[in-house]
Amino acid sequence: MSKIRPLALALFMATASVSAVTAGMVTQASAATAEDLNKDSLQALQNLYKTNPTAKVIGEKAQAVLVFPNIVKAGLVFGGGYGEGVLFKGKKPVDYYNSVTASWGLQAGAQSYGYVVFLMNAKAVDYLVKSKGLEIGVGPTVVVVNEGAAKNLSTSTLKDDAYAFIFGQQGLMAGVSIGGSKITHIKR
Protein backbone atom coordinates (compact mmCIF):
# COMPACT_ATOMS: atom_id res chain seq x y z
CA MET A 1 0.00 0.00 0.00
CA SER A 2 2.84 2.41 0.78
CA LYS A 3 4.23 1.96 -2.76
CA ILE A 4 0.89 2.86 -4.34
CA ARG A 5 0.71 6.33 -2.76
CA PRO A 6 3.99 7.62 -4.27
CA LEU A 7 2.97 6.22 -7.65
CA ALA A 8 -0.47 7.86 -7.44
CA LEU A 9 1.12 11.14 -6.32
CA ALA A 10 3.64 11.02 -9.19
CA LEU A 11 0.85 10.32 -11.69
CA PHE A 12 -1.23 13.17 -10.29
CA MET A 13 1.72 15.60 -10.44
CA ALA A 14 2.59 14.56 -14.00
CA THR A 15 -1.02 14.98 -15.12
CA ALA A 16 -1.25 18.38 -13.42
CA SER A 17 1.99 19.48 -15.11
CA VAL A 18 0.75 18.45 -18.55
CA SER A 19 -2.57 20.20 -17.86
CA ALA A 20 -0.71 23.42 -17.06
CA VAL A 21 1.38 23.12 -20.22
CA THR A 22 -1.75 22.35 -22.26
CA ALA A 23 -3.51 25.42 -20.88
CA GLY A 24 -0.59 27.59 -21.97
CA MET A 25 -0.49 25.94 -25.40
CA VAL A 26 -4.25 26.43 -25.89
CA THR A 27 -3.76 30.15 -25.40
CA GLN A 28 -1.18 30.04 -28.20
CA ALA A 29 -3.60 28.09 -30.44
CA SER A 30 -6.13 30.93 -30.26
CA ALA A 31 -5.75 33.61 -32.89
CA ALA A 32 -5.59 37.21 -31.69
CA THR A 33 -8.18 38.55 -34.15
CA ALA A 34 -10.52 37.38 -36.89
CA GLU A 35 -8.15 38.95 -39.43
CA ASP A 36 -5.21 36.93 -38.06
CA LEU A 37 -7.26 33.74 -38.15
CA ASN A 38 -8.41 34.47 -41.72
CA LYS A 39 -4.82 35.08 -42.84
CA ASP A 40 -3.42 32.00 -41.06
CA SER A 41 -6.21 29.81 -42.42
CA LEU A 42 -5.78 30.96 -46.02
CA GLN A 43 -2.02 30.46 -45.77
CA ALA A 44 -2.47 26.95 -44.33
CA LEU A 45 -4.93 26.06 -47.10
CA GLN A 46 -2.56 27.33 -49.81
CA ASN A 47 0.32 25.35 -48.28
CA LEU A 48 -1.84 22.21 -48.25
CA TYR A 49 -2.73 22.76 -51.91
CA LYS A 50 0.96 23.13 -52.81
CA THR A 51 1.97 19.92 -51.05
CA ASN A 52 -1.09 17.82 -51.88
CA PRO A 53 -2.59 18.24 -55.38
CA THR A 54 -5.51 15.96 -54.50
CA ALA A 55 -6.55 18.37 -51.75
CA LYS A 56 -6.62 21.18 -54.31
CA VAL A 57 -8.83 19.15 -56.67
CA ILE A 58 -11.21 18.33 -53.80
CA GLY A 59 -11.16 21.97 -52.66
CA GLU A 60 -12.29 23.11 -56.10
CA LYS A 61 -15.31 20.77 -55.90
CA ALA A 62 -16.22 21.52 -52.26
CA GLN A 63 -19.18 23.75 -51.39
CA ALA A 64 -17.35 25.02 -48.30
CA VAL A 65 -13.99 24.52 -46.63
CA LEU A 66 -13.36 24.52 -42.88
CA VAL A 67 -9.72 25.28 -42.05
CA PHE A 68 -8.05 24.82 -38.66
CA PRO A 69 -4.50 26.11 -39.19
CA ASN A 70 -3.17 25.21 -35.73
CA ILE A 71 -4.43 22.61 -33.28
CA VAL A 72 -2.36 22.14 -30.14
CA LYS A 73 -2.67 18.81 -28.35
CA ALA A 74 -0.92 17.54 -25.20
CA GLY A 75 -1.41 14.70 -22.80
CA LEU A 76 -0.07 12.44 -20.13
CA VAL A 77 -2.69 9.76 -19.53
CA PHE A 78 -5.35 12.51 -19.87
CA GLY A 79 -5.02 14.82 -22.84
CA GLY A 80 -6.70 17.55 -24.77
CA GLY A 81 -6.42 19.64 -27.88
CA TYR A 82 -7.74 22.99 -29.06
CA GLY A 83 -7.62 25.26 -32.08
CA GLU A 84 -9.73 27.79 -33.95
CA GLY A 85 -10.70 27.81 -37.60
CA VAL A 86 -12.55 29.54 -40.41
CA LEU A 87 -15.36 28.36 -42.67
CA PHE A 88 -14.79 29.57 -46.22
CA LYS A 89 -17.22 29.64 -49.10
CA GLY A 90 -15.05 30.33 -52.09
CA LYS A 91 -12.25 32.47 -50.69
CA LYS A 92 -14.60 34.41 -48.44
CA PRO A 93 -14.58 33.74 -44.68
CA VAL A 94 -18.20 33.29 -43.55
CA ASP A 95 -17.95 31.94 -39.99
CA TYR A 96 -15.66 30.78 -37.19
CA TYR A 97 -15.39 27.51 -35.27
CA ASN A 98 -13.21 25.87 -32.66
CA SER A 99 -12.04 22.28 -32.51
CA VAL A 100 -11.80 20.60 -29.10
CA THR A 101 -10.72 17.08 -28.35
CA ALA A 102 -10.24 15.19 -25.10
CA SER A 103 -8.72 11.78 -24.59
CA TRP A 104 -7.39 9.43 -22.00
CA GLY A 105 -5.26 6.33 -22.12
CA LEU A 106 -1.69 5.47 -22.95
CA GLN A 107 -0.36 8.81 -24.19
CA ALA A 108 2.40 11.25 -23.37
CA GLY A 109 3.70 14.32 -25.17
CA ALA A 110 2.61 17.40 -27.06
CA GLN A 111 2.10 18.22 -30.71
CA SER A 112 0.61 20.74 -33.06
CA TYR A 113 -1.00 20.16 -36.42
CA GLY A 114 -3.63 21.63 -38.68
CA TYR A 115 -6.52 20.14 -40.57
CA VAL A 116 -8.95 21.04 -43.31
CA VAL A 117 -12.46 19.64 -43.79
CA PHE A 118 -13.84 19.90 -47.32
CA LEU A 119 -17.66 19.97 -47.17
CA MET A 120 -18.73 18.49 -50.47
CA ASN A 121 -22.48 18.98 -50.53
CA ALA A 122 -25.31 21.11 -49.19
CA LYS A 123 -26.23 18.41 -46.67
CA ALA A 124 -22.82 18.66 -44.96
CA VAL A 125 -22.78 22.47 -45.00
CA ASP A 126 -26.36 22.69 -43.70
CA TYR A 127 -25.59 20.23 -40.90
CA LEU A 128 -22.57 22.30 -39.79
CA VAL A 129 -24.50 25.59 -39.89
CA LYS A 130 -27.81 24.41 -38.40
CA SER A 131 -26.24 22.39 -35.58
CA LYS A 132 -23.65 25.14 -34.96
CA GLY A 133 -20.90 22.57 -35.35
CA LEU A 134 -20.29 18.87 -35.72
CA GLU A 135 -18.44 15.99 -34.17
CA ILE A 136 -16.08 13.98 -36.34
CA GLY A 137 -17.58 10.50 -36.40
CA VAL A 138 -21.16 11.74 -35.83
CA GLY A 139 -23.44 13.36 -38.43
CA PRO A 140 -22.22 13.68 -42.01
CA THR A 141 -19.69 11.09 -43.20
CA VAL A 142 -16.20 12.56 -42.85
CA VAL A 143 -13.39 10.61 -44.51
CA VAL A 144 -9.94 11.35 -43.07
CA VAL A 145 -7.59 11.21 -46.05
CA ASN A 146 -4.02 10.03 -45.59
CA GLU A 147 -1.34 10.17 -48.29
CA GLY A 148 -2.10 6.67 -49.56
CA ALA A 149 -5.84 7.29 -49.88
CA ALA A 150 -5.25 10.68 -51.51
CA LYS A 151 -3.50 8.99 -54.44
CA ASN A 152 -6.66 6.99 -55.15
CA LEU A 153 -9.13 9.89 -55.01
CA SER A 154 -10.34 11.70 -58.09
CA THR A 155 -13.30 13.91 -58.87
CA SER A 156 -15.20 10.85 -60.10
CA THR A 157 -14.65 8.91 -56.84
CA LEU A 158 -15.75 11.68 -54.45
CA LYS A 159 -18.92 10.23 -52.94
CA ASP A 160 -18.78 11.18 -49.25
CA ASP A 161 -20.13 14.27 -47.45
CA ALA A 162 -16.76 15.57 -46.29
CA TYR A 163 -13.03 14.88 -46.58
CA ALA A 164 -10.47 15.88 -43.96
CA PHE A 165 -6.73 16.34 -44.50
CA ILE A 166 -4.31 16.59 -41.57
CA PHE A 167 -1.08 18.51 -42.17
CA GLY A 168 1.92 20.13 -40.52
CA GLN A 169 2.31 17.69 -37.63
CA GLN A 170 5.06 18.77 -35.21
CA GLY A 171 5.97 17.64 -31.74
CA LEU A 172 6.51 14.52 -29.74
CA MET A 173 3.31 12.54 -29.41
CA ALA A 174 2.56 9.20 -31.00
CA GLY A 175 0.05 9.54 -33.83
CA VAL A 176 -2.47 12.19 -34.71
CA SER A 177 -6.21 11.76 -34.96
CA ILE A 178 -9.18 14.06 -35.38
CA GLY A 179 -11.70 11.32 -34.56
CA GLY A 180 -13.98 12.48 -31.76
CA SER A 181 -13.08 16.13 -32.30
CA LYS A 182 -15.96 18.44 -31.44
CA ILE A 183 -16.28 21.41 -33.79
CA THR A 184 -18.35 24.25 -32.36
CA HIS A 185 -19.42 27.63 -33.72
CA ILE A 186 -17.73 30.65 -32.08
CA LYS A 187 -18.25 34.38 -32.44
CA ARG A 188 -15.46 36.54 -33.76
- Residue 164 has a pLDDT of 87
Which H, E and C letters describe 11-79, residue by residue?
A: HHHHHHHHHHHHHHHHHHHCCCCHHHHHHHHHHHHHHHHHHCHHHHHHHHHCCEEEEEEEEEEEEEEEE
What pLDDT sits at residue 135?
72
| The predicted structure's pLDDT at residue 150 | 39
The predicted structure's pLDDT at residue 55:
92
Contact 135, 183 (CB under 8 A): yes
Residue ranges of the chain whose pLDDT lies below 70 = 1-32, 136-144, 146-159, 173-180
| Torsion angle of C-alpha atoms 123, 124, 130, 136, degrees rounded to 10 | 140
Query: Residue 88's domain spans which residues?
Result: 4-186
State residue 161's pLDDT score.
Answer: 83
pLDDT of residue 132: 84
Total domains, the chain? 1
* CA separation for the pair 13, 140 (Å, rounded): 40
For the whole model, what pTM was predicted? Answer: 0.76
Dihedral (C-alpha) 91, 92, 96, 100: value to the nearest 10 degrees? -10
Q: What's the pLDDT at 163?
A: 87
pLDDT value of residue 4: 56
Extended strands (E) in 120-161: 133-135, 142-145
Burial 65-99 (b: 16+ CB within 10 A, else e): bbbbbbbbbbbbeebbbbbbbbbbeeeebebbbbb
At residue 14, the pLDDT reads 47
Q: Which residues pair with 162 in a beta bridge?
A: 119, 142
